[in-house]
Amino acid sequence: MVVASGAFALLIAAVFVLLVFAIRGQRDSANRAIRAQEAISAGNKLEKLAIDLETGVRGYVASGAKPVFLEPYSAARQAYPAQARELEALVRDNPAASATAQKITGSINDYVDLYSIPMISLANDKIDVARSVIVNGTGPQRIQAIRGQFQQLFNSERALADKRTSQASSRASVAVGFGIGGLVIGLSAVLVLAIYLARSVVRPVREVAAGAERVAHGDLSARAPDQRSDELGDLGRAFNTMAASLEHSRDEVAARTAELERSNAELDQFAAVTSHDLKEPLQTVTVFAGLLDRDYRELLDDSGKTFLDSILAGTDRMRTLIRDLLEYSRVGHGELQREPVPMDELLDRARDNLAGRIAEKSATLTSDPLPTVDVDPKQLCQVLQNLLSNALKFSDDDAPEVHVSAALFPGEWRFSVRDNGIGIDPRQAERIFQPFARLGASKEGTGIGLAICQKIVEHHGGRIWVEGRPGSGSVFHFTIPDSASTEDRRPATAPAGVGA
Ligand SMILES: Nc1ncnc2c1ncn2[C@@H]1O[C@H](COP(=O)(O)OP(=O)(O)OP(=O)(O)O)[C@@H](O)[C@H]1O
Ligand SMILES: [Mg+2]
């Protein structure tokens, strides 16, 4: 590609240089032809001055040496040296004509010095003698010889002018030829380059673009041609490496997801079986501990009574644990019973379920208007209830304040439950969503609530997380995809207070 562009540029440059040379040659030839014409014209003027010298001397003698007849002679004598120099300068590039011009100048000088000056002084002294001399004198012969030399010079210059004119015209033809040739070559090169670009550049680039579109639509098996050794080959190979790496990552993710689903299913099954199997022996322990308490408590000393109370409390806790474990293993299985649910109503239901605890803690529960979303109402109610119950539970304040709000983000609704409780160490923010993870041991509970919330929210296609710092309260956020909500289900305007 780079080589082709370089060759094209060189070709155009070469044609351009040839064209410049041809045009310059044509211009030089034309200039020389013009100079030859100028030399002939200068020669003509000098010849006329020479004739003026001769006719001036003749007129002077014939008129009986009347000064007025000598004027043409005087003017010609004064003018001819400069005219001779001009002629010599104009024929300098023609050696033959240059020699002839010098000869002419010499002859005119001789004519003036050796003939005209003596003749004029003779006419001044002895006009009759002068008249007889001029009839048979050498003046006209000399002038005739000079005119012959002029003829020779003119012939030489004319031949040169003709030669140069024909040279100029042939160079003009060459220049036109180069121009047309260059144009044809240039157009052909552009055509060839266009075809080359269409075949070698546009087509492969289109193939890569089509491959990219297939990849964008999820077909990661798309590949681009990668055999070439130029930049387009590099592009194709880079594209193929990217597609192969994406394909590999997708396969890896699919394998990991399958593995995760399998191990989750195993875990759920294990939890269900274990908790179910534990129920029977626990029931036996509970029954016999109850009988022991009812029939034999009075027979036990203080230590025995303490031990018995520990057994009874332990069985209670065990029962709660098994119940929670079973609930956790059941949540998030099967089809969701989705329906459009006004979240305001779910919040009211959760608040009713927690009414006793809200009253007991003198808590204030407020909320913004909440939207209607497509969810499983029972499960979402459980999420709200768990979060509210935590907000009430993990508060040192006498009158905890809890606020529920919702905001629409691209593609999802985000619900937030904010409290002014004990807050959470950000380093524990992920751990608290694991089953049975609890921070501190002071409050009641098994540590399953948030794990269940996470399972439900993720089953709905959302996420759940917490923000907060120890002592500054916490905000639990969870999202529900916006595909489950619609425009007309947006909440009404003003925030609504749901007091306790
Ligand atoms: N609003 C909150 N403020 C401060 N800490 C919290 C809050 N919510 C949860 N936590 C911390 O996260 C832990 C896990 O909460 P989770 O709801 O899973 O369990 P739990 O409330 O202790 O027991 P359960 O919900 O099973 O009755 C809690 O023990 C507590 O330490
Ligand atoms: Mg809880």
Spacing, Cα 466 to ligand 1 middle (Å): 11
- CA–CA gap between residue 466 and residue 476 (Å, rounded): 4
Spacing, Cα 312 to ligand 2 middle (Å): 23
- CA–CA gap between residue 21 and residue 6 (Å, rounded): 23
**Nearest C-alpha to atom 20 of ligand 1 is from which residue?**
447
Could you tell me how far CA 220 lies from the centroid of its own chain? 25
Of residues 444 and 102, more confidence is placed in: 102
Query: Is residue 241 classed exposed, middle or buried when 0-12, 13-18 and 19+ CB atoms within 10 A define those classes?
Result: exposed
SS3 208: helix
Ligand 1 atom closest to Cα of 450? 18
Block residue for tokens 């100079």: 35
Of residues 474 and 27, more confidence is placed in: 474
- Residues lining ligand 1, judged by CB closer than 6 Å? 324, 386, 390-391, 394, 419, 421-422, 424, 432, 437-440, 445-451, 474
At residue 160 the predicted structure's pLDDT band, cuts being 50, 70 and 90, is confident
Q: How does pLDDT run across 258-273, given as a tens digit for each residue?
A: 888 887 788 778 877 8
Report, as an integer, the average pLDDT of 37-46: 89
Report, as an integer, the average pLDDT of 344-354: 96
Report, as an integer, the average pLDDT of 112-117: 90
At residue 407 the predicted structure's pLDDT band, cuts being 50, 70 and 90, is very high
Ligand 1 atom closest to Cα of 443? 22
State the pLDDT at residue 455.
Answer: 92
**Residue 1 above 70 pLDDT?**
no
**Residue 468 above 90 pLDDT?**
no
Report, as an integer, the average pLDDT of 284-306: 93
How much is the mean pLDDT over the chain?
86
**Residue 373 above 90 pLDDT?**
yes
At residue 177 the predicted structure's pLDDT band, cuts being 50, 70 and 90, is confident
How open is the CA angle 106-112-115, to the nearest 5 degrees?
110
Report, as an integer, the average pLDDT of 124-149: 85
**Nearest C-alpha to atom 29 of ligand 1 is from which residue?**
438
**Residue 12 above 80 pLDDT?**
no
Enumerate residues with CB within 5 Å of ligand 2 (an ion): 390, 449
Spacing, Cα 279 to ligand 2 middle (Å): 23
Non-local CB neighbours of 107 within 8 Å, separated by 6+ positions: 142, 145, 146, 149
Of residues 37 and 420, more confidence is placed in: 420
Reported in sequence order, the residue ranges of 267-368 that DSSP labels E, i.e. its strands, are 339-342, 364-367
Contact assessment for residue 471 and residue 353, using Cβ atoms and an 8 Å cutoff? no
Contact assessment for residue 380 and residue 371, using Cβ atoms and an 8 Å cutoff? no
**Which of the residue ranges 39-53, 198-212, 308-322, 465-479 would you say has the lowest mean pLDDT?**
198-212
State the pLDDT at residue 427.
Answer: 92
**Nearest C-alpha to atom 31 of ligand 1 is from which residue?**
439
**Phi (first) and psi of residue 63, to 5 degrees:** -80, 0
Of residues 442 and 247, more confidence is placed in: 247
CA distances to 337, 412, 478 from 376, in Å: 5, 16, 15
Query: Is residue 312 classed exposed, middle or buried when 0-12, 13-18 and 19+ CB atoms within 10 A define those classes?
Result: middle
The number of the ligand nearest the C-alpha atom of 448 reads: 1
State the pLDDT at residue 454.
Answer: 95
The number of the ligand nearest the C-alpha atom of 389 reads: 2
**Residue 385 above 90 pLDDT?**
yes
Of residues 439 and 286, more confidence is placed in: 286
**Residue 487 above 50 pLDDT?**
no
**Nearest C-alpha to atom 9 of ligand 1 is from which residue?**
390
Spacing, Cα 319 to ligand 2 middle (Å): 17
Highest averaged pLDDT of the listed ranges 16-30, 188-202, 209-223: 209-223
- CA–CA gap between residue 339 and residue 412 (Å, rounded): 17
Ligand 1 atom closest to Cα of 447? 19
At residue 195 the predicted structure's pLDDT band, cuts being 50, 70 and 90, is confident
Spacing, Cα 108 to ligand 2 middle (Å): 135
The number of the ligand nearest the C-alpha atom of 467 reads: 1
Non-local CB neighbours of 55 within 8 Å, separated by 6+ positions: 72, 73
Report, as an integer, the average pLDDT of 343-351: 96
- CA–CA gap between residue 247 and residue 222 (Å, rounded): 10
Token digits for 152?
């020779």
The number of the ligand nearest the C-alpha atom of 420 reads: 1
Ligand 1 atom closest to Cα of 419? 1
Report, as an integer, the average pLDDT of 296-312: 93
SS3 417: strand
Identify the architecture of domain 338-498 in CATH. 2-Layer Sandwich (3.30)
Query: Is residue 87 classed exposed, middle or buried when 0-12, 13-18 and 19+ CB atoms within 10 A define those classes?
Result: buried
State the pLDDT at residue 429.
Answer: 93
Spacing, Cα 438 to ligand 1 middle (Å): 6
State the pLDDT at residue 8.
Answer: 67
Report, as an integer, the average pLDDT of 283-312: 93
Report, as an integer, the average pLDDT of 422-447: 86
Report, as an integer, the average pLDDT of 359-376: 94
Nearest Cα residue to 315 out of 278, 268, 271, 276: 278
- CA–CA gap between residue 172 and residue 29 (Å, rounded): 10
State the pLDDT at residue 449.
Answer: 94
**Nearest C-alpha to atom 13 of ligand 1 is from which residue?**
438
At residue 5 the predicted structure's pLDDT band, cuts being 50, 70 and 90, is low
State the pLDDT at residue 500.
Answer: 35
Report, as an integer, the average pLDDT of 389-413: 92
Report, as an integer, the average pLDDT of 218-229: 85
Spacing, Cα 432 to ligand 1 middle (Å): 7
Residues facing 372 on adjacent strands: 342
- CA–CA gap between residue 203 and residue 213 (Å, rounded): 15
Spacing, Cα 77 to ligand 1 middle (Å): 132
Ligand 1 atom closest to Cα of 440? 31
Spacing, Cα 392 to ligand 1 middle (Å): 10
Which of 418, 432, 454, 464 is the pocket-test mutation for ligand 1 (most atoms within 8 Å of CB)?
A: 432
Report, as an integer, the average pLDDT of 102-127: 91
The domain limits of the chain are: 2-192, 252-328, 338-498
- CA–CA gap between residue 439 and residue 458 (Å, rounded): 23
Highest averaged pLDDT of the listed ranges 130-144, 181-195, 198-212, 347-361: 347-361
Spacing, Cα 441 to ligand 2 middle (Å): 13
Number of Cβ within a 10 Å radius of residue 390: 23
Which of 390, 404, 419, 454 is the pocket-test mutation for ligand 1 (most atoms within 8 Å of CB)?
A: 390
Q: What percent of the chain has pLDDT over 70?
A: 94
State the pLDDT at residue 488.
Answer: 45
Non-local CB neighbours of 189 within 8 Å, separated by 6+ positions: 8, 11, 12
**Nearest C-alpha to atom 7 of ligand 1 is from which residue?**
390
Q: How does pLDDT run across 284-293, given as a tens digit for each residue?
A: 999 999 999 9
Handedness of CA 483, 487, 492, 494 (dihedral sign): positive
At residue 389 the predicted structure's pLDDT band, cuts being 50, 70 and 90, is very high
Number of Cβ within a 10 Å radius of residue 445: 15
Q: What pTM was estimated for this model as a whole?
A: 0.53
Query: Contacts from 102-107 at CB under 8 Å and sequence distance 24+?
Result: 103/149, 104/46, 104/146, 104/149, 104/150, 104/153, 107/142, 107/145, 107/146, 107/149
The number of the ligand nearest the C-alpha atom of 447 reads: 1
The number of the ligand nearest the C-alpha atom of 432 reads: 1
Packing angle, helices 2-62 and 71-90, rounded to 10: 160
CA distance from start to end of the chain: 78
State the pLDDT at residue 62.
Answer: 87
Spacing, Cα 499 to ligand 1 middle (Å): 23
Of residues 164 and 417, more confidence is placed in: 417
